[in-house]
């Protein structure tokens, strides 16, 4: 009788799901699961130390769970002998186990897909069916549409899942309750933040390793609290549903200087790494609404971020292909300012957003979009540099989800594929949605002169230099009419002071 040859099953650091398609295709009796902590993945951008620690610790614990489930696992730790690349490890393990083939679930980054496609070992990739919409399904939805707006895709996902549906209609008669989710920062926050987990011996071992190997990367390693097993992630999910979801909607766009978390879930690192299934998270939120524990605006807004936006940006990523990351429609080319890496800035809002990023490998969507993203867009920073920063500094960032959010939504570098207008604002929006301006060295009420808010100056500078592109945009016409009504001398002062600010920033001055 001829014995069956072994195959290798590749499991990546963001594929920590027992129902992974590659595992479902595998055979516990004959196949070997390969997992590896390799330098190429840990350092192809300067990942935040907490992000690296989270992924390594979760990988190690998932490997143990696989072994307990009956799988043979060949695991390479970062400080062990072996290859520094995924392909190199597959070649090494193929030789070790005399394996003839690798089966894998498609990675979420073109860089890795290309590496596996060109690996000397034969790699068969299966679709990642942890997502609701397959590549084909999204392509079919996008075909023939003049614009690819998320709202209509989201409605199809609601119909497909049945979430918050009453037959063929949305519950309470509306698809979207976003207008209820724009309240400014509250006076008091009754939520202490996400459920935290004290590092056990295994996690501490990883923290020591990461501190030694990646201590030069931007970001603090102290205060590590992430869940590193599915069981812990489920506990974090349940805690959010009970203690934060009811007020999540109201204050999801708000920002407070002394509050890192407000009512946000901090579940995206667990969903994107595979510890939580996105549909189970949405079903848990929908159950809170059905049981009368959370209002529709909170639950709908939360679910829309997952089955709407998350699925949509993945579809855009794979629809557009590898060249999408090179998009730069506005031809911006400024270097990313040093304060994104923790250097001094007098802008309180930017300081707070960068500080929480540095401390926690986290910032919520409005901090990313309307503070750090807004400033980079207004200042004309090269979107490739912004993209690399976001990809590195956040624990939930993988290219399939990060790139469309940055290249498309945040920086408008794709020319409006994702958004009908650029997400830019003056200081007034930040003042309305936060308390940052109250303690800022700049005065948000000042439009020009000493102490004028940089966002005020750069906002009009951006509109002026891109007038030819945006003045006929129906959502931006009022802005240009306002600009045109200003006194010519005032306009010249605004542009001159904005130019001076940008020169000072380029020369390393404190902004």
Q: Is the dihedral of CA 171, 313, 425, 463 positive or negative?
A: negative
The class of domain 7-126 in CATH terms is alpha beta
More confident residue, 322 or 419: 322
Q: Which CATH number fits domain 135-193+244-318: 3.40.50.720, 1.10.645.10, 1.10.357.10, 1.25.40.80?
A: 1.25.40.80
What pLDDT score was predicted for residue 46? 94
Distance CA 394, CA 54 (A): 11
Q: pLDDT category, 3, cuts 50, 70, 90?
A: low
CB atoms within 10 A of CB 223: 10
> What pLDDT is attached to residue 186?
85
Rounded CA separation 246/10 (Å): 39
Residue pLDDT, tens place only, 499-508 = 999 999 999 9
Compute the average pLDDT of residues 238-252: 96
For the chain, the domains span 7-126, 135-193+244-318, 338-506
Residue that is written with structure tokens 């979009």 in the block: 369
Same fold, 7-126 and 135-193+244-318: no
Least confident of 2-16, 286-300, 367-381, 404-418: 2-16
Percent of the chain with pLDDT over 90: 95
The mean pLDDT value for 311-320 works out to 98
Q: In the block, which residue shows the tokens 């940089």?
A: 454
CATH: 1.10.579.10, 3.40.630.30, 3.40.50.620, 1.10.3720.10. Which one for 338-506?
1.10.579.10
Q: How many CB atoms lie within 10 A of CB 289?
A: 23
**Averaged confidence pLDDT in the chain:** 96
Mean pLDDT value across residues 143-172: 95
The pLDDT tens digits for 47-103 are 999 999 999 999 999 999 999 999 999 999 999 999 999 999 999 999 999 999 999
pLDDT at 147: 86
Decide if pLDDT at 1 tops 90. Answer: no
Around Cβ 416, how many Cβ atoms within 10 Å? Answer: 16
Please choose, from the candidates 275, 237, 238, the residue with its C-alpha nearest in 3D space to the C-alpha of residue 57: 275
pLDDT of 249 over the 60 cut: yes
- Token pair listed for 496: 């001159």
The pLDDT of 115-139, averaged and rounded, is 97
Confidence label for 146 from pLDDT (cuts 50, 70 and 90): confident
Mind listing the pLDDT tens digit for each residue in 163-185?
999 999 999 999 999 888 889 88
Q: Would the pLDDT of 156 be above 90? A: yes
């Amino acid at each position: 009788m001829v014995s069956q040859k072994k195959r290798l099953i590749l499991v990546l650091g963001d594929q920590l799901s027992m129902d992974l398609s590659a595992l479902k295709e595998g055979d516990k009796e004959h196949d070997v699961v390969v997992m590896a902590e390799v330098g190429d993945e840990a350092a192809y951008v300067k990942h935040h130390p907490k992000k690296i620690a989270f992924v390594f610790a979760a990988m190690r614990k998932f490997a143990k769970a696989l072994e307990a489930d009956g799988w043979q696992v060949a695991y390479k730790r970062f400080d062990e002998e072996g290859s520094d690349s995924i392909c190199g490890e597959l070649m090494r393990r193929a030789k070790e186990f005399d394996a003839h083939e690798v089966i894998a679930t498609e990675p979420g980054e073109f860089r890795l897909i290309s590496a596996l496609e060109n690996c000397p070992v034969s790699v068969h990739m299966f679709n990642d069916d942890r997502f609701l919409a397959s590549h084909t399904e999204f392509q079919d939805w996008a075909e023939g549409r003049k614009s690819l707006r998320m709202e209509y895709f989201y409605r199809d996902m609601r119909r497909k899942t049945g979430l918050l549906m009453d037959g063929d209609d949305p519950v309470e008669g509306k698809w979207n309750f976003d207008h209820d989710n724009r309240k400014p920062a509250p006076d008091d926050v009754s939520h202490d933040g996400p459920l935290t987990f004290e590092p056990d011996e295994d996690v501490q071992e990883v923290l020591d390793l990461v501190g030694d190997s990646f201590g030069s990367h931007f970001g603090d390693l102290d205060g590590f609290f992430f869940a590193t097993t599915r069981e812990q992630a489920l506990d974090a999910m349940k805690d959010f549903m009970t203690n934060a979801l009811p007020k999540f909607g109201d204050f999801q766009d708000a920002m407070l200087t002394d509050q890192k978390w407000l009512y946000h879930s901090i579940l995206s690192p667990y969903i994107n790494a595979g510890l939580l299934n996105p549909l189970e998270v949405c079903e848990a939120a929908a159950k809170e609404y059905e049981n009368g524990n959370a209002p529709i605006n909170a639950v709908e807004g939360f679910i829309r971020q997952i089955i709407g936006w998350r699925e949509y940006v993945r579809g855009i990523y794979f629809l557009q292909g590898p060249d999408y990351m090179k998009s730069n429609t506005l031809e911006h080319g400024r270097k990313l300012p040093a304060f994104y890496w923790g250097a001094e800035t007098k802008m309180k809002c930017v300081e707070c957003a960068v500080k929480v990023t540095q401390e926690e490998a986290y910032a919520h969507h409005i901090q990313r979009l309307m503070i750090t993203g807004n400033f980079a867009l207004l200042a004309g920073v090269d979107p490739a540099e912004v993209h690399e920063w976001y990809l590195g500094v956040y624990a939930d960032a993988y290219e399939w989800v990060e790139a469309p959010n940055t290249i498309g939504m945040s920086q408008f570098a794709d020319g409006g594929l994702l958004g009908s207008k650029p997400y830019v604002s003056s200081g007034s929006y930040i003042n309305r949605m936060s308390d940052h301006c109250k303690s800022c060295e700049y005065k948000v009420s000042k439009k020009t002169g000493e102490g004028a808010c940089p966002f005020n100056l750069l906002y009009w500078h951006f509109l002026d230099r891109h007038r030819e592109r945006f003045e006929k945009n129906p959502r931006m016409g009022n802005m240009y009419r306002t600009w045109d009504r200003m006194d010519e001398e005032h306009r010249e002062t605004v542009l001159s002071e904005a130019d001076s600010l940008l020169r000072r920033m380029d020369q390393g001055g404190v902004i």
